[in-house]
Chains A and B, each alone.
Chain A
């Protein structure tokens, strides 16, 4: 009964999404405030029914109702409660429902936080979001109904894929989807602006916090996913350039470009057509990612079980949404020319250049991801494009981004003197190269990649410090406290995010150059050495869990004869699928992780143990945290609230004027 209620609620949500799509758009077109006002309650009602539907599905998982097909294939009565709940999105149908729910949640957030927007604009935004919602809910209902019954019911479920039974997987998908789907808001703002012909600085200012928050979610989602891969796959890899990873990375790159472009559009009124195109592009890449994951056109570790009908439906959705948007863009873009003037050397130019670079980087990832498909379609054979390609291409593309990223903030808006600024940052630049090369030599890994990575990281850190010093020195004579207070949250956001990239680069470079690995056969009492650490095997014990059997090794970690930690890697066999899994054990440190995973047991009683030493790997995620934090600071800037209040007053005036 409850699954049927969920199914019915989802149908109601579809109906409401159609109402939300059509009525406000018609209202905006006819300038009817009664019709426009329908958008808000329709969006909120839609959210309520999707949430209800989602809760019903979760209920089937919690209750182990194996007459529901999805629960039978993705849950098990012995699965811990947490993984019964998260099992809902560990599959195609449930994750699609999560997708739709995220979209609906964003829409509700727009209705709550955008009271200051003009009615017609908000109506168009809600209409566009409603259209996308309708597309995805109908996709769910038509091709991927999560409430399908399995009659007769099976006695026991097949359980959630053990790889997904992990704390990282509890938060990774919701974060990632909130990020992916969050770009729909910037997209809807852009389409609403194109429809109304109103694309000015105010539009950019309204879009900015939404874009930034979506970007923060996406950053966090990608980082958590990468962290999960790092400790769950048992050998310490953290990024694989898999098509599905690329599918989240492409919108991230373009979303990053969009954030910066919006800044220029807001401040200077320039790049408007470019900004609109980026807003459409970022969301289009999110949709494309959804297609790649669910259509089966590309083999990936993360792809869901696929069937061509789904692929076709989602491709049709893609063509309608993106095709219509780009057509609208083509029709309206020539009205978007102009904007504030700026000189050849200016903040605008540096941002535009970084935009171009980020777009090229994103396009290159797209090219690499889809190239095997292109060749296959043209009958030119099958190839694979993997990490060696992406690393070869990506490093040269991102190097100028990082260099420019730290130079741009030194430039003034409109116009600046190139020579003077170059002279100002030259010492830091030269010092960075020296530190990079010297550092690479010092850690005994003098390759061009290590030297480049350390140089870039040093450049980010030194230029950040110089930028901060300059900013603090701006108001000569003021007290230190008032100088600090004069710096806005959004400036801190920019500074932190850029600084985070420096930290990230240090992590990537060091772990890429200096990690160590050793596989040993260990019996109780035996020890092994790696990178100055001693590992003593203290035996293995049984450690069965609720839905798996496991052996747990006890490995003491010592340094200089001092005991640091007891590592407890496990080798599990999940009962329902008979699937073996390794649970690595980590000693996490600020400057290195020591990572141990347990292999199989040999006939003589020894265990195969893999030992890893991963210098600076935490810095990768620390960098991501700083980037995300920067985004939070930027979105929380008081300016948005102050100006929103002014917009709201203007909107009230406008309404009063219209009523009079």
Chain B
């Protein structure tokens, strides 16, 4: 029997919904109607009419999809006259103008990179909250990961050297022993107390 693609897709989607509730219920033991609400059709309450009806509040944006794209891009663009806000967050006149520009250009079929290029040509890299990777910003982008590597390298070196040290002076020197005794007598170290609940060894 040839598989009906429509049918198998609907099985898949109902499986997804079942799994959605199942898996996440394990994770947080919750009724997940909210999180999976978009998988199913929105339920229209009885007595309230459907779309073209004057009872339905019209969306502000003529094209919600375009609006969402515009806002997503706008969150990455800096409003130049504001105190560190994106043009999506600000209602400064320039921010509104730039949002309109972004919307217009996306509507005209330009892709996001084109719009970004357009703004960078006029306002410079300053408008981008995500700085481009170039010679000047190389350290910015590479820095955290270089630090991570350096940290990991230092850690490995420390641990290896430490192990070497421990192996080398397996026996305590007389001075060390004296110091240890003084420390114990002075009553500092909780960990030296074997009854301490947190030390399991």
A–B interface present (Cβ within 8 A): yes
**How near does chain A come to B141, taking the closest CB pair, in angstroms?**
8
B137: shortest Cβ distance to chain A, in Å? 7
Say yes or no: A367 contacts B47, CB within 8 Å: no
A340-B191, A442-B24, A643-B190 are known contacts. Are A491 and B197 too (CB-CB below 8 A)? Answer: yes
Chain A residues in 8 Å Cβ range of B45: 534, 558, 560-562
> Would A592 and B34 be within 8 Å (CB), given that A392-B130, A647-B187 are in contact?
yes
Q: Is there an interface contact between B30 and A590, defined as CB atoms closer than 8 Å?
A: yes
The answer to whether A490 has its CB under 8 Å from any CB of chain B is: yes
Neighbouring B residues of A2 by C-beta, 8 Å: none
Contact with B along A133-164 (1 / 0, CB 8 A): 00000000000000000000000000000000
The answer on a CB contact under 8 Å between A237 and B19 is: no
B-contact 0/1 string along A308-322, CB 8 Å cutoff? 000000000000000
Which of B2-10, B97-105, B146-154 participates in binding chain A?
Answer: B146-154
Q: A514 near B35 (CB under 8 angstroms)?
A: yes
| Contact yes or no, B85 A381, CB < 8 A | no
A243: interface (CB < 8 Å): yes
B1 to chain A, nearest CB (A): 27
Please name all residues of chain A whose beta carbon is closer than 8 Å to the beta carbon of B19 when the two chains form the complex: 438, 441-442
Q: Choose among A267, A444, A457, A518 the residue that contacts B64 (Cβ–Cβ < 8 A).
A: A518
The residue in chain B whose Cβ has the minimal distance to the Cβ of A503 is: B28
Smallest CB–CB gap between B99 and chain A, Å? 13
Complex interface residues of chain A between 168 and 218 (CB less than 8 A to chain B): 200-202, 205
Tell whether A382 pairs with B57 under 8 Å between CB atoms, given A200-B183, A266-B190, A387-B75.
no
Write out the residue numbers on chain B whose beta carbons fall within 8 Å of the beta carbon of A424.
none
Q: B30, A371: Cβ atoms under 8 Å? A: no
> Across the interface, do B125 and A443 meet the contact criterion of CB distance under 8 Å?
no
Bits for A96-112, please: 1 = Cβ < 8 Å to B, else 0. 00000000000000000
Q: How far is the CB of A395 from chain B (nearest CB, A)?
A: 11
Contact between chains at B140 and A389 (CB < 8 Å): yes
User: Is B83 touching A301 in the complex (CB atoms < 8 A)?
Assistant: yes
- Contacting residue for B125 out of A383, A388, A639, CB 8 A: A383
Closest CB of chain A to B85's CB: distance in Å? Answer: 6
Q: Interface size of B by Cβ–Cβ distance < 8 Å?
A: 90
Whether, in the assembled complex, A386 has its beta carbon less than 8 Å from a beta carbon of chain B, the answer is: yes
- Indicate whether B171 reaches chain A with its CB closer than 8 angstroms: no
A368 to B191, CA, bound (A): 40
Q: Separation in Å of the A191 CB from the closest CB of chain B? A: 19
| Contact call A413/B148, Cβ cutoff below 8 A | no
CB pair A349–B197 under 8 Å, yes or no, is no
Contact indicator per residue, chain A 42-55, by CB within 8 Å of chain B (1) or not (0): 00000000000000
> How far is it, in angstroms, between the C-alpha of A639 and the C-alpha of B89 when the chains are bound?
49
State whether A639 and B190 are in contact (beta carbons under 8 Å apart), knowing that A444-B36, A608-B60 are contacts in the complex: yes
Contact status B152-A200, CB under 8 Å: no
**Residue A62 CB within 8 A of the other chain:** no
110-162 of chain B: CB within 8 A of chain A: 124-131, 136-137, 139-141, 143-145, 147-148, 151-152, 154-155, 158-159, 162
| Assembled-state Cα–Cα distance A506/B32 (Å) | 14
Picked from B47, B67, B86, B124, the residue with its CB within 8 Å of the CB of A386 is B86
Among the interface residues B22, B31, B35, B68, which one has the most CB atoms of the partner chain A within 10 A?
B35
**Closest CB in chain A relative to B83 CB, distance in Å:** 5
Q: Which residues of chain A are within 8 angstroms of B159 by Cβ–Cβ distance?
A: 344, 349, 352
Q: Does B186 make an interface contact (CB < 8 A)?
A: yes
What residue of chain B has the Cβ atom nearest to residue A614's Cβ? Answer: B34
Q: B39 interface residue, CB < 8 Å from A?
A: yes
In the complex with contacts A380-B136, A532-B34, A412-B198 CB distance below 8 A: no
In the complex, are the beta carbons of A200 and B189 less than 8 A apart? yes
Contacts of A349 in B (CB 8 A): 159
The A interface is mostly helix, strand or loop, or mixed, namely mixed
- Could you tell me the distance between the alpha carbons of A488 and B82 in the complex, rounded to whole angstroms? 50
> In whole Å, how far is A202's beta carbon from the nearest beta carbon of chain B?
4
Chain B residues with CB under 8 A of A532: 33-34, 37-38, 40, 42-43
A531 CA to B140 CA, complexed, in Å: 39
- Whether A561 touches B47, Cβ cut-off 8 Å, given contacts A360-B148, A414-B201, A529-B42, is yes
Is B27's CB under 8 angstroms from A386's CB? no
Please tell me which one of the listed residues B33, B137, B191 contacts residue A267 in the complex, with CB atoms under 8 A apart: B191
A482 at the interface (CB under 8 A from B): no
A205, A243, A415 interface centre (most CB from chain B within 10 Å): A205
Task: State in angstroms the CA–CA spacing of A235 and B85 once bound together.
Answer: 13
A615 touches B44 (CB 8 A): no
**CA distance in complex: A158, B42 (Å):** 48
User: Residues of B contacting A414 with CB < 8 Å?
Assistant: 201
Minimal Cβ-Cβ distance residue in B for A434: B23
Task: Give the interface segment out of A70-78, A219-227, A519-527, A538-546.
Answer: A519-527
Closest Cβ neighbor of A415 among chain B residues? B201
Total contacting residues, chain A, CB less than 8 A? 113
Chain B residues whose C-beta falls within 8 Å of the C-beta of A242 in the assembled complex: 84
A20 to B173, CA, bound (A): 42
A643 to B27: give the CA distance in the assembly, Å: 41
Contacts of A491 in B (CB 8 A): 197-198
Select from chain B the residue with minimum beta-carbon distance to A416. Answer: B201
- Tell whether, in the assembled complex, residue B16 and residue A441 are in contact, meaning their CB atoms are under 8 Å apart: yes
How far in angstroms is the closest Cβ of chain B from A275? 14
Instruction: A381 to B137: give the CA distance in the assembly, Å.
Output: 10
Within 8 A of B (CB), among A260-279: 266-269
- CB <8 Å contact, A356 and B186: no
Please determine whether A381 and B124 come into contact, CB atoms closer than 8 angstroms. Answer: yes
Please, which residues of chain B bring their CB within 8 A of the CB of A522?
57
Taking A242-B84, A438-B23, A591-B35 as contacts, is the C-beta distance between A527 and B130 under 8 angstroms?
no
A488 touches B198 (CB 8 A): yes
Is residue A577 contacting chain B, with contact meaning CB distance below 8 A? no
Bound-state CA distance A451–B74 (Å) is 26
When the two chains form their complex, are residues B129 and A591 in contact, meaning their CB atoms are under 8 A apart?
Answer: no
B46 within 8 A of A: yes
B159 to chain A, nearest CB (A): 6
A201 in contact with B190 (CB, 8 Å)? yes
> Nearest Cβ in chain A — how far from B163, in angstroms?
6
| A575 close to B (CB within 8 Å) | no
> Is B190 within 8 A of A367, CB to CB?
no
Q: How far is A383 from B200 in the complex, measured between Cα atoms in Å?
A: 52
Say whether B107 faces chain A, with CB atoms less than 8 Å apart.
Answer: no
Chain B nearest CB, measured from A410 CB (Å): 10
Enumerate chain B residues within 8 angstroms of A384, measured Cβ to Cβ.
Answer: 78, 125-129, 131
User: How long is the Cα–Cα vector from A531 to B43 in the complex, in angstroms?
Assistant: 9
B55 interface residue (CB < 8 Å to A): yes
Decide if B199 touches A267 in the complex (CB within 8 Å). Answer: yes
Asked if A233 is at the interface of the complex by the 8 Å CB criterion, the answer is yes
Q: How close is B14's CB to chain A, nearest CB, in angstroms?
A: 12
The reply on A473 being an interface residue by CB < 8 A is: no
- Given A233-B89, A352-B155, A367-B144, check contact A526 B56 (CB 8 Å): yes
Q: 5 shortest A-B CB distances, which residue pairs?
A: A386-B129, A442-B20, A561-B45, A388-B130, A532-B37
Task: Give me 10 A-to-B residue pairs in the complex whose CB atoms sit less than 8 angstroms apart, sorted by A's number.
Answer: A267-B189, A353-B155, A380-B136, A383-B131, A388-B130, A412-B201, A435-B27, A491-B197, A523-B57, A609-B57
In addition to A201-B189, A388-B76, 13 A-B residue pairs with Cβ atoms within 8 Å of each other are A200-B189, A266-B190, A352-B158, A381-B136, A383-B137, A389-B130, A389-B131, A412-B200, A491-B198, A528-B57, A559-B43, A589-B34, A613-B34
Please give the residue numbers on chain B whose beta carbons come within 8 Å of chain A beta carbons, in ascending order: 16-17, 19-24, 26-28, 30-40, 42-48, 54-61, 64, 67-68, 71, 75-76, 78, 82-86, 89, 124-131, 136-137, 139-141, 143-145, 147-148, 151-152, 154-155, 158-159, 162-163, 166, 183, 186-191, 196-201
